[in-house]
Amino acid sequence: MIFTLYSLSSLVAWLTVLLVGLFVFFSNWTAKTNRVFLLLSISIAVWVSGCFMESTCNDPGLNVWIDKFLYTGAAFAPTAFLYSILIIINKAKKRNKIILLSCLCSLVFLFFNLFFRSIYIPAVTHRISFRYIASPGPVWYLFILFFTCATFYGLFELHIERNKSIGRRKTQLTYLFIAYLIVIIAALFYLLLVFNIETPPVDNFLVIVYSFMMAYAILKHHLLDIEIVIKRGLVYSVLTGFNTGIFVSLIFVGNYFFSGITGYNSLWSSVIGAFVIAMIFQPLRDIIQNIVDRTFFRARYNYQQILNKYSHTLAQPMADLSRFARIAPYLLTKSMKLSGSSVMVLDRATHNYVVRAGEREGRALEGTVVPETSALVKELMKQEKGFSLEEIMDLEKNASEKDKKHYQEVLEAMKALKSVLIIPSISEGQYFHKATLLSTINLSRKLSEESFSREDVEFLRTLANQAAISIEYAFILEELQRNQKQIIQSEKLATIGITTAGVAHELKNPLTYLHTLGQILPMKWQDKEFMESVIKLLPTETQRMQLIVEGLLDYSRSRELMLKPLDVSTVTDKGLALLAYEIRKQRVEVETNYEHKKNTLGDPNRLMQVFMNVIANAVQAMGEAGGDLTITTKDEGTCVVVMVTDTGPGMSKEQQTRIFDSFFTTKEEGTGLGLPISKKIVEEHHGSMEVESKEGKGTTFTISLPAAA
């Protein structure tokens, strides 16, 4: 038995091409493409295994049978080659006659190989430096013609389809074209030997290159549409097994050459060889692992690590849709190295989708509007998982005349959004009562010009699904905020309704005075004593009316929070003026102790609601028996503190723990929203509101507000 570098290369070629074929087959054995590719792999494997046997066997008679075995695989190689290409480019049905003719030719040459060797390959005639070579008969030249026509026609069809394709499809077909061209060159190197043209023994090495290129294209670019769910551990286990096989072979070869040189064969030589190889095994394994990381995993894992790091930010419930719209394009553009991206969000008021934010190319799209009735939105709802530009182009190409216009509109919309991939966030929750498109992530091309891989798309879909929760939460919160404003306004109106009679009564006295004054003023214009009383009373009455009217306006206004420096006593005075009638009616004595010197930073409209609520509650708590109401203010550090104390019945500890809970009330006609709303308003001012009470001894509400700088 002769063992050379050529025979070792044929053994490795046999192993790699068979592993790739089996991997493709078991990835989806029901697919015709995968089954035909396995047939091609087996044909090549039979060929290179024949090369291995012919290079190690020194018996011409035995090599005749080996050659017979080799050409059994070779007979089907052109058909499998052509068929696999036509299936991959979706032309198998259109070229079925060519495929049938090719199958027939393969069967004919198999028949000649098995039964008429004398006119096909009569004998294995001579040995060159590294193997035996067959002697061709007349039929063999016909086989070469068949081989040439089938392979070059297949490459021609593949080249045409590749030129028409774009994106990932073009990348896939490019790798396939190069890999198939390499394996054809490998076959040509072998066939030249038959013509007595001695070429370098590189045919098996080219088959190894072909196998690794196919593996690379499958793993990185999803050639043959194989769904890869791959773990590093699995890859490394396969590599370890492959490395082990190589090292065992090297031990065998080293021992063989050692025996040939020294004539001495010993177990110790194998042990020493194994030890030496073991020393270099781990470093070599690490090198291979690093190559695999850089080739298959690094780019993918790098950006996914970045996205995983920030995905919790994108998936967190947000009250601000604009924040989500800004974060998503920034992270995606940065981590995936895109030429641009943008986020489009549903505007429920106008029933349109609006680009809220973008990065790079997407920045110019901000404000772009896509109607809810557009073809793009309809297609997104139909496909649910999103689509790429090339997928829509394929659909448009194969669509009926009726659907062509629809897909053309989708293409125009995608181009307007500068997107090659759109991923939707669709809500299936009960809040919208039906499936609703909430937003889209619009991605432009990668700067590297690579296509989006399946892992890219799956990861983005997961991200979009997480984002749907966040966006839905924001919509719900927006609605709650609108409802809250309505509730606050309703609470205000309810309080105004209660105080209306009192306000009317409070305004009636000064108005009656002014009316009377207007009647008698002409008659007593010269009366000095009368004029002095008018000068004394008129400013007081008009100031009282102004205080009531301003208080009523401040209380009833609904506007955004506007903080400005103000004297807290002016707000409490307006509240007391509005409630003056109720205070007198309930026989409550009011005492004000304004000891503060600082202004507070507040919104008079919102604070008016707080003090009106607290004062009204205190008055109502004291009931018909009346009591004392004391309002005390003071400066305390960086805060202005307002304490409202009553001499009512007080509250139990349980009531105190629940007093700020929504809808908790001790009044028969109360809503239970006044104090929770008041507390929220104070917290909006970055202040605090607390209650202290003892049963039978009254209650004190303490409101702390930040002082103005």
Instruction: Note the pLDDT tens digit of each residue in 37-66.
Output: 888 888 888 888 877 787 777 776 676 777
Tens of pLDDT along 215-257?
Answer: 777 766 667 666 444 444 445 545 555 555 555 555 555 555 5
Nearest Cα to Cα of residue 317 among 559, 456, 458, 480 = 480
Q: How far apart are CA 611 and CA 685, in angstroms?
A: 14
- How far is Cα 382 from Cα 406, in angstroms, rounded to an integer? 13
Whether the predicted pLDDT of 212 surpasses 90: no
Among 46-55, 185-194, 293-302, 540-549, which stretch is predicted with the lowest mean pLDDT?
293-302
Domain ranges of the chain: 5-228, 229-312, 313-480, 488-706
Q: With 70 as the cut, is the pLDDT of residue 325 above it?
A: yes
Closest Cα to residue 223, out of 215, 235, 231?
215
With the CA atoms of 671, 672, 673 and 674 taken in that order, what torsion angle do they form, in degrees rounded to the nearest 10? Answer: 100
Pairing of strands 639-646, 600-602: unpaired
The model's pTM is: 0.47
Q: What's the confidence (pLDDT) of residue 229?
A: 44
Cα–Cα distance measured from residue 544 to residue 549, given in angstroms and rounded to the nearest whole number: 9
Cα–Cα distance for residue pair 703/50, rounded to 1 Å = 94
Q: Do domains 5-228 and 313-480 have the same CATH topology?
A: no
Q: Does domain 5-228 have CATH number 1.25.40?
A: no
Token code pair at residue 240: 């370890």
Rounded average pLDDT over 558-577: 83
Q: What pLDDT sits at residue 233?
A: 45
- What is residue 304's three-state secondary structure? helix
The answer, yes or no, to whether residue 466 has pLDDT greater than 90, is no
CA distance 181 to 185: 6
Q: Which CATH architecture has domain 488-706?
A: 2-Layer Sandwich (3.30)
Question: Mean pLDDT throughout 387-396?
Answer: 86
When computed from its CA atoms, the radius of gyration of the chain, rounded to whole angstroms, is 44
Whether residue 306 has pLDDT greater than 70: no
* Per-residue pLDDT reduced to its tens digit, 352-391: 999 989 999 999 999 999 999 999 999 999 888 889 888 8
Task: Give CATH for domain 313-480.
Answer: 3.30.450.40
**Residue 410 near residue 416, CB atoms below 8 Å:** no
What DSSP line would sit under 425-446, residue for residue? EEE-STTSSS-EEEEEEEE--B
The angle subtended at Cα 307 by Cα 304 and Cα 308, nearest 5°, is: 80
CB of 357 closer than 8 Å to CB of 340: no
Between residues 247 and 573, which one has the greater pLDDT?
Answer: 573
How far apart are alpha carbons 38 and 73 in whole angstroms? 12
Model pLDDT, residue 303: 54
DSSP code string of 474-500: HHHHHHHHHHHHHHHHHHHHHHHHHHH
Per cent of the chain over pLDDT 90 is: 18
What value does the mean pLDDT of the chain take?
77
